[in-house]
Amino acid sequence: MANEPSWDEIFSGQPKSSVPTSSAPLSGPVPTEPAPQSRREARERQNAVPPRSTFATVSGSDKRPPRRRRLGWLWALLVILALGGGACAAVWIGFEDQVRAVLGMELPTDYEGTGNGEKATVVISAGDIGEDIAKSLEKAGVTMTSTAFYKLLLAQDTPATFQPGSYGLEHEMSAQAALDALLDPANRVVSSVTIPEGSTLKQTLAKLSESTGIPLADFKKAAKDYTSFGVPKKAPSLEGFLFPATYDFDPDLTATQVLQKLVDRMDEALDAAGVKKADRLEVLTLASIVQKEAGTLKDYPKVSRVFLNRLDVDMFLGSDATVAYGTGNTSIFTTKEERADKSNKYNTYANHGLPIGPIAAPGDAAIDAALNPAKGDWVFMVLVNGETGETKFSKTFAEHQEGVAEFQAWYAAHPDWDN
């Protein structure tokens, strides 16, 4: 076949007659390999895959376009779907975000329902704004995202008002369920305790420990440093400076913080009554005696007047309640020996004037009575009926003795009465 090209022509891509014979530079790429020596070698070269650098690119890059990961996830998803429902559930649980991305589904930002039963505690501090609360909810595992809760707050017609404190919620609550729970006072986690009027420091510390779960030793240790609470240095203890009331305490408070709340509440009461700081120890001391000695609320001002009248004439106060406190007793009954013991700084039978400090926690009524006593010239008083609290006030000792006899007769008829 005369027109059949030679192997040299096949390899060079040009007819043999057109190959230059001069040594001048070629206009095309210069071959870097020798001509094939056989048909087999030429065939192998013709079928060989060119080096990576010789691929043509449309974008100007010499890199092969990367395969999209989405295709890999899609094939995996199709395979799992073919395997059955159990495998589908496993894929959804482990790779929900990726599967949603493959299918073009929007990622969820909020849970549905009121929670999964697992408890969580969220603390709202004074000064927290909506964004702070939203972040706290997400961090505690209550809501899926802080964004969902914060957007819900912004959409409210009336701004939500949150009370500082600790709240018991559940994990995986919807933003709306979490908002409803935070606005419900029933979900606030608190330790509630009532300190009755007339309680002593010992009784108060025991009640606080029992209610809050804080060790009694912690309260006793904190109470020893009573001046750190703002109590006057000349006061003998924290006695009388803890206001009697009902309190709710958050679970993360210390014994010191709890006691400070009671002291602060007493300061509020004294401020409202117009008591100067310099007069507070004296006022609370008198008020505490009124609190323990008065049989009924209506008699508070009269009892206060009796003690003030005695002080005016330098007469012993003669309060059995003060003597009992100094001995560690709580009964109004004292012995002759106890009343004669001058070493008891609370013994107002043997020491003139007020005792060295309060003997109990006075309430608002007792504080008011100490500041605003009734008008009268009584210097004696005696309880005549333990059940009703009836008290007889008198000006003379003879009248007083009549009242004492009346009480003795009543007590003889009620031997089981315990004050």
**217-247: pLDDT as tens digits:** 999 999 999 999 999 999 999 999 999 999 9
372 and 224, same domain (yes or no): yes
- Say what angle helices 280-293 and 300-312 make with each other, to 10 degrees: 120
368 and 257, same domain (yes or no): yes
366 and 224, same domain (yes or no): yes
pLDDT at 3 over 90: no
- Per-residue pLDDT tens over the stretch 118-174: 999 998 988 999 999 999 999 999 999 999 999 999 999 999 999 888 899 999 999
Residue 46 lies in a domain: no
355 and 215, same domain (yes or no): yes
Q: How far apart are CA 14 and CA 8, in angstroms?
A: 8
Residue 64 lies in a domain: no
Q: What confidence score (pLDDT) does residue 43 get?
A: 55
Q: How far apart are CA 288 and CA 290, in angstroms?
A: 5
- The number of domains in the chain is 3
* 328: containing domain: 201-378
Sign of torsion over alpha carbons 334, 305, 241, 238? negative
291 and 175, same domain (yes or no): no
Q: What type of residue sits at position 292?
A: K
| CATH number of the CATH domain containing 165 | 3.30.1490.480
180 and 287, same domain (yes or no): no
Q: How far apart are CA 180 and CA 338, in angstroms?
A: 60
Task: State phi, psi for 53 to the nearest 5 degrees.
Answer: -70, -15
Residue ending a domain, choose from 189, 212, 229? 189
pLDDT at 185 over 60: yes
91 and 235, same domain (yes or no): no
230 and 315, same domain (yes or no): yes
128 and 83, same domain (yes or no): no
Residue 50 lies in a domain: no
Residue 84 lies in a domain: yes
Name beta bridge partners: 204.
none
- Per-residue pLDDT tens over the stretch 112-133: 999 999 999 998 988 999 999 9
Asked if residue 370 lies in contact with residue 283, where contact means CB atoms within 8 angstroms, the answer is: yes
Q: Return the half-sphere exposure (C-beta side, CA atoms, 13 A cut-off) of residue 349.
A: 17
Percent of the chain, pLDDT > 90?
A: 67
252 and 172, same domain (yes or no): no
159 and 268, same domain (yes or no): no
pLDDT confidence bin for 382, thresholds 50/70/90: very high
What's the mean per-residue pLDDT of the chain? 83
Asked if residue 288 lies in contact with residue 319, where contact means CB atoms within 8 angstroms, the answer is: no
216 and 299, same domain (yes or no): yes
Residue 166 lies in a domain: yes
Residue 387 lies in a domain: no
Name beta bridge partners: 170.
119
Residue ending a domain, choose from 189, 221, 250? 189
Task: Using a cut of 0.75, tell me whether the model's pTM lies above it.
Answer: no
Residue 35 lies in a domain: no
Q: What confidence score (pLDDT) does residue 22 get?
A: 40
Q: How far apart are CA 93 and CA 72, in angstroms?
A: 18
Residue 384 lies in a domain: no
- CA 28 from chain centre, in angstroms, equals 82
